[in-house]
């Protein structure tokens, strides 16, 4: 059974390699290719990087105790986006969700200081909900389209210990409750990119000016 599976997989990879336009930088392709080539070095390094990612970015993947937010597919919205931003040597993190349902669009804004230790627990600085006008929603959609959010890779291979971190999550409700679309991107030091411009627009739209987190 394994031999048949490997044969079919090799045929798929061969077909892919015959295409001049196929994205061979895609992480899934590279893992499959390494498996077929018995490239244990690449596979080991990929696992090492994954473990490092899980170790260094758990707080962005989990809700902080003072900043609990629902998953985008649990908001009862037709479409929703979440922007999570953090900067090295800055004590604060923003978590901004903009969603649209049949009743209109709204923003849920959170800014807080993540937990540092048992003596310094998670501390909520500001939380509020505000309505988003149709024009503001349309501007956000144009910005996301310009950034090609739904076409962006989840990661671009750039990472580091310092700098800024930006996560952007997206949700589109499928028809009849089926085939919902979810997408997450992670960018390290995204300044200068179109998706960074989108985050700046969202942050400014909040009207929060106590800290400059953009």
Residue with more model confidence, 70 or 3? 70
Any domain includes 98: yes
The pLDDT of residue 54 is: 66
Confidence of residue 207 (pLDDT cuts 50, 70, 90): very high
Query: Could you tell me how far CA 115 lies from the centroid of its own chain?
Result: 21
- Residues 25, 119: one domain? no
- Three-state secondary structure readout of 35-89: HHCCCHHHHHHHHHHHHHHHHHCHHHHCCECCECCCCHHHCCCCEEEEEEEEECC
- Residues 84, 153: one domain? yes
- Residues 98, 179: one domain? yes
pLDDT digits (tens, 9 = 90+) for 76-94: 999 999 999 988 777 788 9
66: its two tokens: 């003072």
- Residues 66, 142: one domain? yes
Total-model pTM: 0.74
pLDDT digits (tens, 9 = 90+) for 51-68: 776 665 545 444 477 888
Which domain, by its residues, includes 31? Answer: 2-56
- Residues 39, 80: one domain? no
Q: Which of 56, 74, 102 is the last residue of a domain?
A: 56
CA distances 88 to 19, 62, 143, Å, are 41, 19, 26
Residue with more model confidence, 23 or 41? 41
Domain count, the chain: 2
Rounded Cα gap, residues 194 and 111, in angstroms: 23
């Amino acid at each position: 059974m394994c031999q048949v599976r490997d044969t079919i997989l090799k045929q798929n990879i061969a077909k892919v390699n015959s295409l001049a336009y196929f994205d061979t930088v895609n992480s899934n392709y590279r893992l499959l290719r390494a498996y077929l080539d018995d490239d244990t070095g690449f596979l080991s390094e990929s696992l090492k990087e994954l473990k490092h990612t899980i170790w260094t970015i758990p707080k962005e993947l989990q809700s902080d105790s003072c900043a609990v937010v629902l998953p985008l597919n649990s908001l009862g919205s037709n479409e929703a986006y979440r922007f999570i931003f953090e900067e090295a040597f800055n004590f604060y993190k923003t978590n901004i969700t903009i969603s649209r349902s049949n009743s209109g669009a709204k923003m849920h804004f959170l800014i807080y200081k993540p937990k540092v230790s048992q003596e310094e627990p998670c501390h909520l600085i500001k939380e509020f909900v505000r309505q988003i006008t149709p024009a503001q929603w349309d501007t956000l959609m144009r910005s996301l389209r310009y950034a090609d959010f739904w076409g962006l890779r989840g990661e671009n291979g750039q990472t580091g210990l310092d700098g800024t971190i930006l996560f952007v999550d997206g949700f589109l409700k499928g028809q009849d409750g089926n085939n919902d679309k979810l997408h997450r991107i992670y960018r390290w030091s995204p300044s200068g990119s179109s998706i960074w411009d989108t985050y700046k627009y969202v942050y400014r739209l909040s009207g929060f000016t106590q800290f400059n987190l953009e």
